[in-house]
Amino acid sequence: MMPIYWLTTMASPVSAPATPLDARYRALAEVAGVLASQVALDDLLRNLRGLIETLIPFEFLAVYLRDEGADTVSLRLKEARRPATLPPPMPFPLATSYPGRATHTGEPVYVAHVAADGPAPSARLVAHGIASYCAVPLSTPRGTLGAFAVGSKTAGAYSADDVDFLARVGRLVAVAVENAQNLDTVRRQQAAIAGERDRLNLLLDVTNAVVRELDIKALFRAVAPALRRACGADAASLSIFDPDTRRLRVHACDLPSEIADGMPSVIELSLEGSPAGLVFRSGAPRIFSLPELNDLPDCERMRRKGIRAFCAIPLVTAQGTLGALSLGAFDPDTFSEAQLPLLQQVTGQIAIAVGNALSYKRIEVLNAQLAQERVYLQDEIRSEQLFEEIVGRSAALRRVLQEIETVAPTDSTVLILGETGSGKELMARAIHQLSARRDQAFVKLNCAAIPTGLLESELFGHERGAFTGAIAQRIGRFELAHQGTVFLDEIGEVPLDLQPKLLRVIQEREFERLGSARTLRTDARLIAATNRDLAALVDDQRFRQDLFYRLNVFPIQVPPLRDRREDIPTLVRHFTQQFSRRMKKTIETIPAETMEALTRYEWPGNIRELQNLIERAVILSRGPVLDVPLVAVGAPRRTSRTPAVDPGAATTGTDTTLAEAERRHIVSVLRETDWVVSGSNGAAARLGMKRSTLQFRMRKLGIERPRRGA
C-alpha cells in the first residue's frame, strides 16, 4: 500500500463496504479505454463518473491544476451529481490547502471529517454539505500536474482501499490531462505558425510590389489586394502631405464601384478634419468609430457612400512622416486593435516605397533642371573655387606649377608662401587634385577667421560637455579629412599653446578630441599657407621653431601678380568673360589704354583685387566696352582734356607708390653694402630690421641680387 496522509480526528477511518477487486480492476481498464478514446477533459470526467460511481461514493469529481509560474493550484474541472456553475478559478497555496498538499507531496490527502475552519477548500466544502474529502496527485513521469479529488456527504466515507483505487485512477487521469495540455499547446503553436505564415506572405507580397514599382499609383494597385486580405477593408487610399498647401493630397485609391462613381479627380484632405490628417499629425495609427467620423467634415462623402468604419495609419520613414494610409469598411466591426501591428508593418513597407518614388521623382526633376542650366551651374562651381583652372603662362607661374607637379604625388607637408590674394588656396587644391588622395575630402580652414578659443575644437573636434555650449559631439577637420587633405590657411595665426598639438598630429598622426582621453589616428596630408614671415615669427618667439621646420619641408613661393604682369591681360579677359556671363551682359572690347593701366599697376591685393575690380567694372559697363574705373589703379580717366597715358614715360615723384619707394630704398642700401644682408655692417642692420624680415621684404618686393656680368 502507498503511504496516505490521514487528516482526521478519528483514530482510524470508517471502512466502507467492501468492493470486489475484479470489479475495480475492470473499472480501471474501462477508465484506461475512456482515456484512449476521449480528448476533451469535460467528456472524460462525465464518462469517468459513470464508471466509478458504483465503486466509490462521491458527490463530485474535481480536477485541480497547478498554476504556471506560481506555487498554487486552481479548480479547473468539476463533475457533480447535481450540475452547478463552476466557480471562477481560485488559487490554493501548495503548502496550506488539501489539493495543494497532494500536488506538492505527490501523496494522497484524505480528510474523514471536514471542518469549516480547516485548510482550503474546507469552508466551501462544508457550505455544500461535504463531510469527507479525498485528493490524490495527478502524477506523470514528467512531474505532478495537480490533484484529482472526490467528496462525500458522509463522514469517513473512504477506506484505505478506496484511496488506493482513487490514486490509481488519478494516475490515469494525469495522463489524459497531460495529453490534453500537449494537444492544446500543439494547436496553439500551429495557429501561431499559420498566422505567422499568413503575415509573412502578406509582407512578401508588399515587398515584391515595393521592389518592382516606382510609380505611386502602380505601387498602390499592386499592394491593395494584400491590404484587403490583411483586414477585410472595402476601400483604401494613399495620401501624401503637400508642404506648399499644408494639406494631404490623395495620390492613389482602391475603391469599389459604388464609392468610386462621382469621386473628384483631385482630393485634398485637411490636417484637422480628416482621419488621415489626424494620424499624420500624431504619428500613431487609429481606428475611428462611426460617431467619430460624424465629427470630421472631410468624411461626409464617405459616410454617404456607406462607410461605417475607418482606420488610418501614418506613413513613417526615417526622414519623417510622408502621409497616411486610409482604410474604410461597410461593416462597423471590421477593424480591431489586434490588426494594427500587422497594418503598421505593411504601411512601413509602403512608406519606404513612397519615399523611394518621391526621391526618384525629385531626381528626375533635378536631372531635367541640370540639363537646362548646365552652364549656369558650372559658373557657380567656378565661383566657389575662384577659378575654373589656373590662368596664366608666365615664367614665374610655370615655375610654381613645376614645383606642384613634383610634390603632389608625395604625402609630404607643403608650405605655400605668398601675399594675400595671390592664389594660395588654388595652388593647394591643385596639389590635392594631382595627388593620390584626389578622390577623398579636401578640408580647408582659415585659422585667422576662427576665434582663438574655438580653433582647437575646429581642428581636433570635441566631446559633448567639453566646454560651455558643447551640446553635442563634433568631429574636427583632421578627423574629417582622414585619407584626404587638410588645408590650413593663415597658419601663422595659430596660437603658441595650440602649436604643440598641431606638431603632434603632423608628426605622429594622432590627437585627442577636447574633453576626451581616447587617442584617435588620422591619415590626413597637411598643406599650410601664410602671408607672414614665419622665420621672423620664430625669431620673435611667436611661432615654434620645431613646427616651422616640420611645415617647411617643401616651401612653394607663389609670386605676386606684379611679378607676373604678362598674365594680367589673360586674367582680365578671363574674369570679364566670367562675370559678364553670370550677369547676362555682352562685353566684347577692352580698351588698350585700360589694359595698359591694369598691367602697370602694382596690385597690392594681387589676383583677388583684380577679380573684384573686374567684377565692379562689369557692373558699371553699359555697353559692349569694359568700363574700368581707372582711378582705383592710380590712373586718371581719359577725357577730352586728359591725354592718354604714355606707357614709356617715366613716373614722377608724385606718381610713386609706397611700395616702389620702399623698394628703391632697400635696393640703394643693398648696393651700398655690396648686397650683404646680415652682419653688423649688413643691409639689415643699416635698415634697422632683422635679417629674416629683410629677406621677406625682398621676396615680397621682388628684389633679387643681379648676376655677375649682367
pTM of this structure: 0.41
Check residue 38 and give its pLDDT: 55
Residue 450 has pLDDT above 90, yes or no: no
Same-domain check for residues 337 and 441: no
Domain presence at residue 707: no
Residue showing cell 484637422: 272
Same-domain check for residues 536 and 670: no
Domain presence at residue 268: yes
How many angstroms separate the Cα of 412 from the Cα of each of 400, 585, 609?
17, 45, 31
Domain presence at residue 488: yes
Check residue 209 and give its pLDDT: 62
Same-domain check for residues 482 and 540: yes
Q: What are phi and psi of 60, to 5 degrees?
A: -155, 155
Same-domain check for residues 350 and 439: no
Report pLDDT digits (tens) over 398-418: 899 999 999 999 999 999 999
Report how many domains make up the chain.
Answer: 5
Domain presence at residue 330: yes
Same-domain check for residues 466 and 540: yes
261 three-class SS: coil
Report pLDDT digits (tens) over 134-160: 999 999 888 899 999 999 999 999 999
Check residue 17 and give its pLDDT: 47
Q: What is the DSSP string of 375-432?
A: HHHHHHHHHHSS-SS-----HHHHHHHHHHHHHTTS---EEEE--TTS-HHHHHHHHH
Q: Please report, for the domain that includes residue 608, its CATH number.
A: 1.10.8.60
Q: Can you tell me the mean pLDDT for 223-230?
A: 71
* C-alpha to C-alpha distance for 76 and 369, rounded to whole angstroms: 75
Report pLDDT digits (tens) over 680-705: 778 888 887 888 888 888 888 888 88
Q: Residue 195: pLDDT band by 50, 70, 90 thresholds?
A: low
Q: Determine the structural domain holding residue 693 and report its residue range.
A: 658-701
Report pLDDT digits (tens) over 641-654: 334 334 333 344 44
Same-domain check for residues 574 and 630: yes
Report pLDDT digits (tens) over 532-591: 999 999 998 999 999 999 999 999 999 999 999 999 999 999 999 989 999 988 888 888
CA torsion angle 12 18 22 26 (round to 10)? -80
Nearest-5° angle of CA 377, CA 383, CA 387? 115
Q: In this prediction, what percent of the chain has a pLDDT beyond 90?
A: 25
Domain presence at residue 372: no
Same-domain check for residues 575 and 618: yes
Same-domain check for residues 60 and 15: yes
Domain presence at residue 206: no
Residue showing cell 629674416: 692
Residue 383 has pLDDT above 80, yes or no: no
Residue 189 has pLDDT above 60, yes or no: yes
Same-domain check for residues 14 and 150: yes
Same-domain check for residues 663 and 645: no
Check residue 81 and give its pLDDT: 67
Same-domain check for residues 643 and 663: no
Report pLDDT digits (tens) over 240-296: 888 878 888 887 777 777 777 777 777 888 888 888 889 898 888 988 888 888 888
Q: Can you tell me the mean pLDDT for 450-459?
A: 86
Residue 8 has pLDDT above 50, yes or no: no
Q: Indicate the average pLDDT of the chain.
A: 81
Q: Please report, for the domain that includes residue 304, its CATH number.
A: 3.30.450.40
Check residue 485 and give its pLDDT: 93
Domain presence at residue 368: no
Q: Please report, for the domain that includes residue 479, its CATH number.
A: 3.40.50.300
Cell numbers given for 542: 611667436
Higher pLDDT, 389 or 655: 389
Give the strand pairing for 485-489 and 525-530.
parallel
